[in-house]
A and B are shown apart, each in its own frame.
Chain A
Amino acid sequence: MGYVLLTVPLLAVVLFIVLKKKHLQHVISVAASVTMTIAAGFLTWAVLKGGFIEYSAWGGFFRVDALSVIVIDIVVIISLMTSIFSVGYLENEIKHEKLTTDRMRIYYVLMHAFIFTMLLALTVKNIGIMWVAIEATTLASAFLVGFYNGKEAIEAAWKYIMICSVGIAIALLGIIFLQFSSLAVLDSSQFLDWTAMIDHATELQGPTLRLAFIFILVGFGTKAGLAPMHTWLPDAHSQAPSPISTLMSGVLLNGSMYGIIRIVAIVNRSFGNSMFVGRILIAVGILSVVTAAVFIFSQKDYKRLLAYSSIEHMGIIAIAIGFFTPVSLFGGLLHMINHSFTKSMLFLSTGNILQKYNTREISKISGLFKMLPVTGVVFLLGLFAIGGTPPFSVFASEIVVISAIFQEKNFLVGGLLILLLAIIFTGIVVTLFKLFYGTDIPKETPPGELNIPGVIVIVLLLGIITVMGLYIPNELRILIDQAVEIVIGG
């Protein structure tokens, strides 16, 4: 089943190139996503029963355990939602002549290439290949960021590819030092294999490992959107087509965070505690949350605002990993899942809003409830959810993370985090609530939803995040516990 997961998106890319009929393209995209979801379901089930899956082909190239399966599930589910949403979204774009059928094909090819690279990064055992795959995600999505070819879109794409390529190059330097620290311990067939590195963690060279960690954090942190390396993120998220913003925020950021978690596991196992890694991660995390809190107030563009909110949540996850207790890691991983679903829902809703109003400026939009009754309600509830209001799931995981911080008796970080979250919530309310009311609605467009499949998807996501806020399924709890055990070690 693991190979199905990797071959389906590749096969889809080939089919998009070969088959040129417009309707077929939609069918292939959705069918590929459904197949991937089913394959990932089987993988999850196998991991739940057996702990991990490893195929012997190519020297054990493919390996999936609880930690990777969580992120894989996020990737395939968000991809499925995005594929369904894209059908209606792209049809509307074509109807308004913003897109030709040929451009739509490029969109689908790149989108599925992006999903493939993401899944590759999550299913390999070798950290070097993981790096290659994460760099490939940048390459696959660069044209998607600049898809509309306007001045601003080109600028965002250029910044994205330059900043992320250089950032990720620095991560490569870190990976070289990682290999260097293991030269005396591992033989050449085991180089950069994280299972072998975890097994021999205590024998690795400490000082080189520290150097490696810092470079890797800067590199993968650039792609994960941690401040101060976040500068590409608001531009790319606001300029990309909304379904692509969804994939970037819900999928790409988590993939890079996954890379960081893997390295943290090795480094902490080697040092026997989380002093060194923890301080850096908590500092970077707090800085990310502060950056988001400062910039959210001055936003004039609702997609940019959501992008800053993604930086905030990545910061929270970084803090949770930094504390490195079972509770905080549980909270961090849960937060990763909850943030992805909530933020995807919001970004997909902005797709509907953008198509209706044709503007990203907050001041030019009013009367959202009248114009888009369903999207408006979902967007409003989503904003409450992302701000951390009960009963939604983000609240649940934030509470777990914060209580883990207080359990460690770190009242300074905990108090600061609560204060910042309150500030960010106020910021979102003050800036975005103008959208919903008001009678000053555009005359030329009649009210009503444009993208019916898209509306179904966002309502479904709203259902998921509400249920997840009240109740975590037992299987998911077991899976996260397994993942925490993998990171901390038995």
Chain B
Amino acid sequence: MTNYLDALSVLLLVSAFILMGNKRIGSYIKTFQFQSALVALLTGIIGISSFAQDGRIDVLIICAVVIGIKVLFIPYLLKKTYAKVAYRVEKDFFLNIPILVLICCLMVVFSYFSFAETMGINTGTINNQIVNSFSVILIGLLFMISRKKAIGQIVGFLVIENGIFVTALFATHGMPFIVDMGILMDILVAVIIMGIMVFRIDEKFGSINVDNIKDLRG
């Protein structure tokens, strides 16, 4: 099973790189959907193995909720939001994409070495799954600050959340059930609220470019 998990963690990292290379909001949302599907698959595998070993079904329930919220509902919501506010395509990033991808590579190296230094997480060999999922979090953070559109920031936040969710799965094979459910509910509500705010920003500022939102300083 470790092989499958390793492969999935690498795929998750690849999906984060793909996201960084995307130019349009529509493709951000699709990449996020693909990444969430990977997360759901991972949850499913761990769920089946925990069902086979201990007869617990809670991870399987979480898998179903992940599919419902992250793979289906949130991408649908984001697409709907995007369709209502988007009226022009423009350059959406502060640095150009090759440089951003290069920075992402450096981040993976950085997280590899920082976990190699931390005793306890690696027992002899370095835990590549955690390195990969932590890199996804870092790439999500970079994505958030590199995109100017409000929806880009929401996607960045969701990628961070995906990264944290898989870190939890790799590191601890799932947090307590009620905590996991609470986290997913929080994300759902957060994205709904952020979506509504994107409308308001669009209404007040005339675009969803966060560059314009800078009245409050000091």
Contacts and interface: CB of A to CB of B under 8 A. Distances in A.
B197 A161 contact: yes
A176 B176 contact: no
Contacts, number: 125
A62 interface: no
B62 interface: no
B176 A128 contact: yes
Interface SS of chain A: helix
B218 A295 contact: yes
Contact of A205 (B120, B176, B200): B120
B216 A154 contact: no
Nearest to B198: A158
A161 B175 contact: no
Given A155-B216, A165-B190, A180-B171, A208 B178 contact: no
Q: Most B CB atoms within 10 A — which of A131, A238, A295?
A: A131
B160 A166 contact: yes
Interface in A170-186: 172-173, 176-177, 179-181, 183
A206 B121 CA distance: 11
B179 A161 contact: no
B78 interface: no
Contacts of A154: 197, 200-201, 204-205
A126 B181 CA distance: 14
Interface residues of A, number: 50
Nearest to A183: B172
Contacts of A161: 190, 193-194, 197
Contact of A128 (B160, B182, B189, B193): B182
Interface string A112-141: 000000000000001011011001101100
A359 interface: no
Contacts of B189: 136, 139
A169 B157 contact: yes
Contacts of A165: 157, 190
Interface in B140-198: 141, 144, 150, 153, 157, 160-161, 164, 167-168, 171-172, 175-176, 178-179, 182-183, 185-186, 189-190, 193-194, 197
A177 B216 CA distance: 36
A224 interface: no
A433 to B, nearest CB: 21
Contacts of A136: 186, 189
Contacts of B183: 128, 131-132, 135, 172
5 contacts: A135-B190, A154-B201, A161-B194, A176-B175, A238-B216
